[in-house]
Amino acid sequence: MIARADMEHCVEAIRHGSRSFYTASKLLPRSVREPALALYAFCRLADDAVDLNMEKAEAVLNLHNRLDLAYAGTPRDTPPDRAFAAIIEEFAMPRALPEALLEGLAWDAMERRYATLSELRAYSARVASAVGAMMCVLMRVRDRHALARACDLGVAMQLTNIARDVGEDAREGRLYLPTDWLDEVGIDPAAFLSDPRMSPEIGALVARLLREADALYIRAEAGLQGLPVSSRPGIFAARHVYAGIGRMVRRNGNDSITQRAYTSQAQKLGWLMLSGIRTANSVLMPKNAVIYARALPETQFLVDATADRRKTATDWSDALYATLASLKARDSAQHDAFP
């Protein structure tokens, strides 16, 4: 399916660019692991293409064109693009999923802020749950209940990342904490971004975000029983590695301003072993009723798009075009103001 040279390029990109995912992927069967690494390499490429480019609108529009070429079966001549085109063909990847990721990257480029937890979940759905839904497609899973739980896991992981990176993001002018939470504790967003300092109030908000993530990790676990047994260890591992990051943030006193939480290789090895044990238990245990919980409202569109195989080759949505147009207009206005 994926040319060997292209696959090797993608593996190396993830080995150095996303160690947590690379570690968890070792427990996936080869039939899932290789396309998953190629998929993640393309997603990392997309993220870096926007994040590291000063011309944000141009970078996002360029990604839009790359996805168009991949879905047309004529990908750009690079290993990640060729690999992603092969994935589209082999697995009938719904276009709505990379579209959602692209929209989330556009929101980042616009430095969008989120007034409520629901808005933050909507962002997390695009940049993380969309990848979780794509992983389900690679496992040949289109069951709505399993998809909903995979989307829960994506949101949980993204909330964990946000909790870990509050200080780092603030120093780059980014703010992901819900602004209504900041209002509740008397923190002015502009003042915080101009001088991000650790405080009991910020620590309380980080802890609150981690509690939201923990609740979703619990919901997500029930969905693992809807996945092929051979794929469960890798997904359990991803769940434990990311939840472990959250525990390290707590161990640092919820201070993600002056410290960055890290997990050790020994910890990751322990979580890999635990994942094998939990997979064996999941085979023996009756199905957890939580698997039937409703999808988060913010991720329902991903579940619908993935479960309906007829939506694989639909056109890009009007919502995405509107977002891209807004981003282009914003960048043009900034260019005119600072030529």
DSSP conformation letters of 37-73: HHHHHHHHHHHHHHHT-S-HHHHHHHHHHHHHHHHTT
Q: How many CA atoms lie within 13 A of 309 on its CB side?
A: 7
Structure tokens at 280: 């064996």
55 to 45, 63, 106, 232, 310: CA distances (angstroms):
16, 13, 12, 40, 35
Q: What is the pLDDT of residues 80-90, one digit of tens each?
A: 999 999 999 99
> How would DSSP label each residue in 212-279?
HHHHHHHHHHHHGGGS-GGGHHHHHHHHHHHHHHHHHHHHTTT--SS------HHHHHHHHHHHHHHH
Instruction: Give the pLDDT of residue 338.
Output: 45
- The secondary element (H helix, E strand) that includes residue 328 is helix 318-337
How far apart, in whole angstroms, are the C-alpha atoms of residue 209 and residue 246?
10
How far apart, in whole angstroms, are the C-alpha atoms of residue 156 and residue 219?
10
Provide the 8-state DSSP code for 172: T
Question: What residues contact residue 199 under an 8 Å CB cut-off, 6+ apart?
Answer: 187
Provide the 8-state DSSP code for 127: I
Burial of 91 from C-beta contacts in 10 A (0-12 / 13-18 / 19+): middle
Helix, strand, or coil here: 173?
A: coil
Q: What is the pLDDT of residues 129-166, one digit of tens each?
A: 999 999 999 999 999 999 999 999 999 999 999 999 99
323 to 29, 105, 132, 160: CA distances (angstroms):
37, 10, 23, 26
CB 168 within 8 A of CB 235: no
Question: b/e for 293-332, b at 16 or more Cβ within 10 A?
Answer: eebbebbbbbbebbbeeeebeeebbeebeebbeebbeebe
Structure tokens at 189: 């967003």
Please report where in the chains the tokens 């990257």 appear, as a residue. Answer: 105
Structure tokens at 310: 């007829």
CB 123 within 8 A of CB 104: yes
Per residue of the chain (339 residues), give pLDDT as tens. 799 999 999 998 888 777 778 877 888 999 999 999 999 888 888 888 887 777 777 888 888 899 999 999 999 999 999 999 999 999 999 999 999 999 999 999 888 999 999 999 999 999 999 999 999 999 999 999 999 999 999 999 999 999 999 999 999 999 999 999 999 999 999 999 999 999 999 999 999 999 999 999 999 999 999 999 999 999 999 899 999 999 999 999 999 999 999 888 898 889 889 998 999 998 888 888 999 999 999 999 999 999 976 555 455 566 776 776 677 666 666 555 545
Q: What is the pLDDT of residues 211-243, one digit of tens each?
A: 999 999 999 999 999 999 999 999 999 899 999
How far apart, in whole angstroms, are the C-alpha atoms of residue 181 and residue 193?
15
CB 101 within 8 A of CB 120: no
Sorted by where each begins, the domain ranges of the chain are 94-317
Assigned CATH topology for domain 94-317: Farnesyl Diphosphate Synthase (1.10.600)
Q: What is the pLDDT of residues 40-50, one digit of tens each?
A: 888 888 888 88
Please report where in the chains the tokens 């692209």 appear, as a residue. Answer: 102
Burial of 64 from C-beta contacts in 10 A (0-12 / 13-18 / 19+): middle
